[in-house]
Amino acid sequence: MNNVFIINIIRFIFLVLFQVFILNNIEINGYVNPYFYVYFILLLPFETPKWLLLSSAFLIGLSVDIFSNSLGLNSAACVLIAFLRPGLINTLTSKREFETGIKPGIKDLGFVWFLNYSIILIFIHHFALFFLEAFGFHNFWFTFYQVLASSGLSILLIILSQYLFSYRTKV
Amino acid sequence: MRYFFIFLWKHSFFFLFLIFEFISFLLIVNNNPYQRSYVINSTNELTGNMFSAFTNITEYLSLKNNNKTLAEENAILHSKLNLLLSNKTDSNFNISTDSNFLMLPAKVLSNSTNNRINYLMLNKGKSDGINVDMGVISSTGIVGIVCRISENFSSVMSILHKDAKISAKIKKNNQLVNVIWKGDDYRTGTIEDIPTHIEIVPGDTIITSGNSLIFPEGILIGTCKDFIKNTGENLNNAEIIFSTDFNSLSYVYIINNLMREEQNNLINSLPDE
């Protein structure tokens, strides 16, 4: 438990720094910006208490917000997906698969499961984030294009890092 | 109460979610100028609409009272008008303390405010005793000077004229100044060439000086809005807001100076320098 706790804290710090110093400076096409730090919320263990889930999501969103001068935007989107995460996991996972000690990821639950899981959460997160940024549904299709393009990029990064990091620990 | 806490505890996840979202939303609105202005604007629009709807209703409710007071006022005005028409020299209708100024009501037939030179057309002319160079005022302040007359109509050069120059004074200290109009906004005029020792502060009242034979002393021109110090020059300027709303004039008064000829003759008899 202690080990998991420390790993998550390190992951928290690393992802925030990676997001604000590298990804926020990459603006593809002017307005496509991946939000890779959400990976942290995706990877939190299944056993995480619900209050901790919400608080840590709020904290990581807030940290990114502080660095990118958009106080409240990221934290609102993160809290939303943290709230939806337990329900989503229940619907995606059958009881049979659910053993203790399992971690969310391709390694334990398979590529299709993880892809569905991350696509849904990332899309919701980006949707909330970009529409909060636009603060309304005027210019809907432009914002929607931003959501789709940025989600695609974030999901690509997440799947890539699954193969880069998770498999190496297995070896 | 106990069940309420049980209910809260049971749904603590949901309420915690709501609390966090609420905090985030507060942060968004308080820290991001764009989102903040959006919220403020939309709430302003909402409250504005509510207020206007409310005043619409209350206005409608007080319509009967308004009609009554208007009718009473009309009756008073009619009786005064009749008196005025029947006896043009009735001293009750002198607005100035000098008894040599008479006022004649007239209706504005046409009016302009958006040109560099603005004229009004009044429904009184030569047959009503109107003459060129008579002053025109409204109930709220100065309007202009009659410049051309026909049998039944007269044309008035309003002070919204690039060449108009009205002799005025500052009410609080009787200092003489000149009011001109620069030709931009019909609501604001300019006081030019104020000697440096005269200080005008915003809010000062500007009235006619009574030096010009056209206007009696003490007709309201406007109030000072801005005092502009010209550094390095001897003379300062000031912006004033005209007390008359030139865009909504409907009734005005033509001022007849009964002693004008006498005064003019006296001035002309002075030896030229």
Q: Where are the domains of chain B?
A: 2-61, 94-259
The span from the CA of B168 to the CA of B177, in Å, is 5
Average pLDDT over residues B28-41: 79
- Is B27's Cβ below 8 Å from some Cβ in A? yes
What is the tens place of the pLDDT at every residue in A137-149? 878 888 898 899 9
Interface contact A75-B23, CB threshold 8 A? yes
- Is B175's Cβ below 8 Å from some Cβ in A? no
Residue among B167, B117, B161, B149 nearest B256 (CA): B149
Average pLDDT over residues A55-81: 90
CATH code, domain with A32? 1.10.1760
Kindly report which listed range (A46-55, A123-132, B261-270) carries the lowest average pLDDT score.
B261-270
The span from the CA of B45 to the CA of B35, in Å, is 15
AA identity, residue B157:
M
Write out chain B residues lying below 8 Å of A136, CB-based: 38
Q: Is the pLDDT of residue B66 over 80?
A: no
CA A109 to chain centre: 17
C-alpha torsion B65→B69→B71→B72, nearest 10: 140
Q: Band of the pLDDT at A81, cuts 50, 70, 90?
A: very high
Of residues B24, B32, B35, nearest to A79 (C-beta) = B24
Interface contact A76-B29, CB threshold 8 A? no
CB atoms within 10 A of CB B226: 14
Residue among B215, B214, B249 nearest B121 (CA): B249
The span from the CA of B150 to the CA of B167, in Å, is 27
Of residues A70, A79, A80, nearest to B32 (C-beta) = A70
Q: Is the pLDDT of residue B25 over 80?
A: yes
- Is B250's Cβ below 8 Å from some Cβ in A? no
What is the tens place of the pLDDT at every residue in B218-266? 888 899 888 887 777 777 888 899 988 888 787 788 888 877 888 888 8
Q: Which residues contact A58 (CB under 8 A, 6 or more apart)?
A: A75, A78, A79, A82, B20, B23, B24
Mean pLDDT of chain A: 85
pLDDT (0 to 100) of residue A82: 93
Instruction: Identify the domain containing residue A59 by its residue range.
Output: 2-170
Residue among B149, B136, B157 nearest B252 (CA): B136
Q: Band of the pLDDT at B213, cuts 50, 70, 90?
A: confident
For an interface test with B, give the residue of A48, A66, A83, A129 to mutate (most B CBs within 10 A): A83
Kindly report which listed range (A12-16, B52-56, B105-109, B125-129) carries the lowest average pLDDT score.
B52-56
Q: Which residues contact B166 (CB under 8 A, 6 or more apart)?
A: B142, B159, B178, B179, B180, B208, B212, B215, B221
The domain defined by B94-259 folds into Thrombin, subunit H (2.40.10)
Q: Is the pLDDT of residue A3 over 50?
A: yes
Q: Is the pLDDT of residue B79 over 80?
A: no
What is the tens place of the pLDDT at every residue in B194-203? 877 877 888 8
The total of structural domains in chain A comes to: 1
What is the tens place of the pLDDT at every residue in A84-93? 998 888 888 7
